[in-house]
Amino acid sequence: MYNWDLAFKVFFYGFSGVFICLIILMFFVQISGMVFKNFRKKKS
Amino acid sequence: MDAFSIHTLLLKTGILHLTYGHVIMWAIGFLFVYLGIKKNFEPLLLVPIGFGIFIVNLPLAPLAGKGDLIWIFYHYGLEWEVIPPLIFMGVGALTDFGPLIANPKTLLLGSAAQFGVYVTFFGAIALGFTVKEAASIGIIGGADGPTCIYLTAKLAPRLLGANAIAAYSYMAMVPLIQPPIMRLMTTKKERQIVMKQLRPVSKLEKILFPMIATLVICLLVPESAPLMAMLMLGNLFRECGVVQRLSHAAQNELLNILTIFLGIAVGTTMRAETFLNPQPIFIFILGLFAFSFSTVGGLLMAKFMNLFLKDKINPLIGSAGVSAVPMAARVSQVEGQRENPRNFLLMHAMGPNVAGVIGTATAAGMFLALLK
C-alpha cells in the first residue's frame, strides 16, 4: 500500500540535496566575503 | 414546463440547492473572517480566504466554475504558478540578506530546519496520503506560505486549501509553538550565550548576493528557479539603489494586490464537496508536527555547530531557520532576553530566518525534481 522505497529515496536525496545546495552557497558567500575583506585591506 | 413559473424560478435560486455541507463551510468561512478581524490572526490572508470560502459555497453562483471570475484568479494565479513567485519578488524586496552574508554559517541552520518537512513527509505517507500529497503536506514545516502553495498547486492541487490554511495558521502561531520547544531543547547556559557582533556588509556584497544565490541554487535545483529567481530579483531591486520605484512597487502595491488574489483563490478551493472529510484534520495535525520538528532540526544543528566553533552561537537562533520572517527571529530575540536581558539576538536570528526561506524554496525544488 505504502510506497516506502520511493519515500526513502525522496527523503535521502531531498534532504541531502537541500544541505548540499546551501553548503555550496555558504562557501560561495564565505569566499566572496573573504575576497572583499582582502580587497578592502589592500585598498586602505 | 413554463420558464416563468414560480417553481422554475425557485429552481434557479440557490436556496433549493443548499446542503448541510454548504452551511458548514459558511461557518468555517465566517470563523476565518472572525479570527482575522477580531483576533488579528494573519488578517491579510484570513479575511480574503474566509470570504472566498463563503462565496464558493453559494450554490449556483457563477464564481468558481470554469471560466467564472474566481476560477480565472485560481487558474491563472495558482495553476499557472504566477502568484507565488511574484509574492516571492515582494518578499525579496522586503528582505535584508545582510545578516546572512555577514554570517553565512547560518545557511546550515536554514537547511537543518527543513528536517520537519521530511519527517512529516513520512508521517503523511503513513497516514495514507500519496507520495506527492505527502510532499505538499511536509512543506508546511518550512513555514513559508507561497512555497507551500506553489508546491501544492503542482503536486496535489486538491489539498491546496487545507495546506495553505495550515501553513499560514502555524506561521501566525510561531510565538506559541516555538518557545516551549526551544526551552526543552536547550540548557539555560546555552540560552545565555552572547554572540559576537556581526561584521558590516558592503553595498557591493549585498548587490552581488542575489546574483550568486540565483546562480548557485538555480543551477543545482532548476525546479526551484521560479521562486528563487523572483526572490532574488526583488532583493536586487532593493539593494541596487537605482530602482526605488520598482522596489517600492514590489514591496507594497504588487504584494498587496497579489495577496488579495491569493486569498480569494485559496479560499475558493475549499468547496464543501471536497473539503468536508477527515483529511484536512490530518493535514492540520501533520502541519503541527512538521513545524515542531523543523524547530527541533534548527536547534539541534546550532548545538552541533557549537561543538566545532570557536565563537559559539546561541542555539536559540537555530529555531529561526523555519522561515516565518521575521516572527521566528523575534521569538529567538524574546527567548534570549528572558535569560539574559542584555542579549540581542534579533540580527543574528535574521540570518537563519532568511536562510530558511532559501532552504524551503530549495526543498520544494527538490521535491519537484524527484516527484514531478
**What is the rounded CA–CA span in Å between residue B287 and residue B266?**
17
Query: What are the φ/ψ torsions at residue B312 (nearest 5 degrees)?
Result: -65, 150
**Percentage of chain B surpassing pLDDT 90?**
70
Which of A10, A15, A18 lies at the smallest CB-CB distance from B131?
A10
B200-215 pLDDT, tens per residue? 999 999 999 999 999 9
The per-residue pLDDT for B217 is: 96
**What is the rounded CA–CA span in Å between residue B235 and residue B34?**
34
B245-259 pLDDT, tens per residue? 999 999 999 999 999
Which of B126, B363, B371 lies at the smallest CB-CB distance from A18?
B363
At B300, is the secondary structure helix, strand, or coil? Answer: helix
Any idea what the Cα angle at residue B115 is, between residues B110 and B118, rounded to 5°? Answer: 130
Q: Which pLDDT band, with edges at 50, 70 and 90, does B1 fall under?
A: low
Average pLDDT of span B286-300:
93
**What is the rounded CA–CA span in Å between residue B120 and residue B357?**
18
**What is the rounded CA–CA span in Å between residue B118 and residue B363?**
9
Q: Which pLDDT band, with edges at 50, 70 and 90, does B219 fall under?
A: very high
B107 contacts on A by Cβ (under 8 Å): 22-23, 25-26, 29
B45-70 pLDDT, tens per residue? 889 989 999 999 999 888 888 889 98
- Per-residue cell: B259: 495577496
Q: Which of residues 212-231 of B touch A (CB under 8 A)?
A: 212-213, 216-217, 220-221
A2-43 pLDDT, tens per residue? 678 888 999 999 999 999 999 999 999 999 888 888 888 887
ipTM, two decimals: 0.92
On the question of pLDDT at B310 being above 70, the answer is yes
On the question of pLDDT at B220 being above 80, the answer is yes
